[in-house]
Structure 1
Amino acid sequence: MASEYTTTEYIQHHLTNATMCTTESGIAFNKACKDAGFWVWNIDTLAWSIGLGILFLWLFTSAAKKATTGVPTKWQAFIELVIDFVNTNVKDTFHGKNSLIAPLALTIFVWVFLMNLMDLVPVDILPTIAGLVGSTFFGMDPHDVYMKAVPTTDLNLTFALALGVFVLIVYYSIKIKGISGFMKELTLQPFNHWAFIPVNFILESVTLIARPVSLALRLFGNLYASELIFILIATLGLWQLPLHFPWAVFHILVLPLQAFIFMMLTIVYLSLAHEDH
């Protein structure tokens, strides 16, 4: 597939999301959505993220239904290992009392890991399949069919995840401390004097907003750079194999690490929100 494009076109094609929008003439896709404004859907990101979320639910639900008290199967033992790993980190990091935190941490860890894992799929396979489907069933030019299969390389998704965490931070901060306590936290720290209220508010507001922003950008930046390197390696054609496999093996460690960092920072931020000074 790389030979059909120049190197620049090949990279741009692989880094472009499949989009859908509504226009005056009806539903439009991809290039027709260029000037559609804000309301544009990245349908590949939505499809893969929702699909992998359903896969996570199905895998863990089926394991729970088949669980036995006797000698566990290898799959049950693996699921229990993942749950124990997450639960241990929650107990060690989260100091409040909230039954939501452990399930939330498990969902974040496994879901983000599955989305990251798509980075190991060879970069030409899914776009080529999408191009064949588009040309065969919809009469589209394969060059106009896009498929970006790693959801976490889309800044929209990572910001959406981080925004969900931010809403929980604000919600539990107000629930545990009350509105007055939350406002005091924003206005009387780090300098506990009324004269420094404007300074404190600016500093604490920046700190509060920086949490979801850092969550989103950290995950996006690492996965986007990783995917870009895979694409650059793919431009080498048959010569990519000596470089592709070492980079893929390295990512067997990187991909779960990024999911773990996102999970741990979420737990830490929610633990801070539960602290009642």
Structure 2
Amino acid sequence: MTTEVSAAEEFVPPSAPDFWQPLVGDGAFALTRSMVVMVLVTIGLAVVMMLVTRRLAVVPGRGQFRLEGMYGLVRNSIGRDIIGSAHFKPYIPLLFTLFTLILVNNLMGIIPPIQFPTMSRIGFPLALALGVYVVYLVAGVRRRGIGGFLKNLVPSGLPLFVVPVVFVLELVTFLITRPVTLTLRLFGNMFAGHILLLLFALGGEFLLLHGDGLLKLVSIPAFLMFFLFSAFEILIAFLQAYVFILLASIYIAEVYADDH
């Protein structure tokens, strides 16, 4: 025996268009939810940084202690250890800004009532990745000059007939592969994680409200998985911010590789 299900009771799984969410206007110039979240996070971070650092003390309070711990992680475990103690200091403001900005924007995916990870919109990770590569390019050119920077793309000692091929491959890697992979790693993880959260939340709600008989009970494990994945997303949010600045530091460190 079959029963007809009305269109209103059909489950519609989450998809990519659910991440667009324009608030004002439409098309390329629309004001979207992700833009608003990014602006709020940026302003919030600026306010918190100013409030915490306005009255620094030898014996730090809880806010100063947490901020110093985060700063120490970026400065020592990433900047100094990877870029090198002789060259890391000018890049710490960039790395710390990237880390905090990415981390808080990632956490927006599980914080009510926002629950939207900004980095699940590919334009934001792409902009950050391009910013890293501008810094990397400028540092390389300032250190070696344009000719030396391009020459450094090809390892020494290669047969002459292989050099053009290796140069083209390395140039493509530098200009395309690295920025794209740096972008997609952050974007893909945040997009996929939020899709899973939406799937469990909407699926559980659908089963609870429209399921027949025992199907309503299936909503319980669906909601449990939603809360479990929400906790897991906290770890993912931190790891993705950490990995992004880790890779950024590795790329910058290549400029000073001959000093190590």
TM-score, length-scaled by structure 2: 0.81
Match of 2:12 in 1: 8
CA contact (8 A) 2:20 2:32 kept: no
Match of 1:273 in 2: 255
Identity %: 26
Map Cα deviations across residues 8-38 of structure 1 (whole Å, 9 max, x no partner). 3754663223176xxxxxxxx23xx3xxxxx
Map Cα deviations across residues 142-201 of structure 1 (whole Å, 9 max, x no partner). xxxxxx832100011111111111111111111111111012123x33663443332022
CA distance in 2, matches of 1:215, 1:262: 7
Structure 2 runs not aligned, ≥5 long: 1-6, 209-218
Partner secondary structure for residue 100 of structure 1: helix
1:178-257 equivalent positions in 2, closer than 5 A:
178-186=145-153, 188-189=154-155, 192-208=158-174, 209-235=176-202, 236-237=204-205, 239=219, 240-257=222-239
Match of 1:106 in 2: 96
Partner secondary structure for residue 162 of structure 2: helix
CA distance in 1, matches of 2:62, 2:13: 45
Q: CA 1:257/1:74 → structure 2, altered by over 3 Å: closer, same or farther?
A: same
CA distance in 2, matches of 1:224, 1:5: 26
Structure 1 runs not aligned, ≥5 long: 21-28, 34-38, 127-147
Structure 1 vs Structure 2 CA RMSD: 2.4
CA distance in 1, matches of 2:190, 2:9: 24
1:9-158 equivalent positions in 2, closer than 5 A:
11=15, 14-18=18-22, 29-30=25-26, 33=27, 39-41=28-30, 43-69=32-58, 71-89=59-77, 90-95=79-84, 96-121=86-111, 125-126=113-114, 149-158=116-125
Name the aligned partner's letter for residue 65 of structure 1: R
CA distance in 2, matches of 1:194, 1:11: 51
Post-superposition shift, 1:7?
3.3
CA distance in 2, matches of 1:5, 1:189: 62
Map Cα deviations across residues 52-104 of structure 1 (whole Å, 9 max, x no partner). 122112112211112212x3211111111111111112111112525331111
CA contact (8 A) 2:105 2:118 kept: yes
Map Cα deviations across residues 32-53 of structure 1 (whole Å, 9 max, x no partner). x3xxxxx445532222112212
CA contact (8 A) 2:80 2:88 kept: no
Q: CA 1:270/1:41 → structure 2, altered by over 3 Å: closer, same or farther?
A: farther
Q: How many residues align?
A: 235
TM-score, length-scaled by structure 1: 0.76
Match of 1:176 in 2: 143
CA contact (8 A) 1:152 1:220 kept: yes
CA contact (8 A) 1:190 1:200 kept: no
> More displaced, 257-266 or 90-99?
90-99
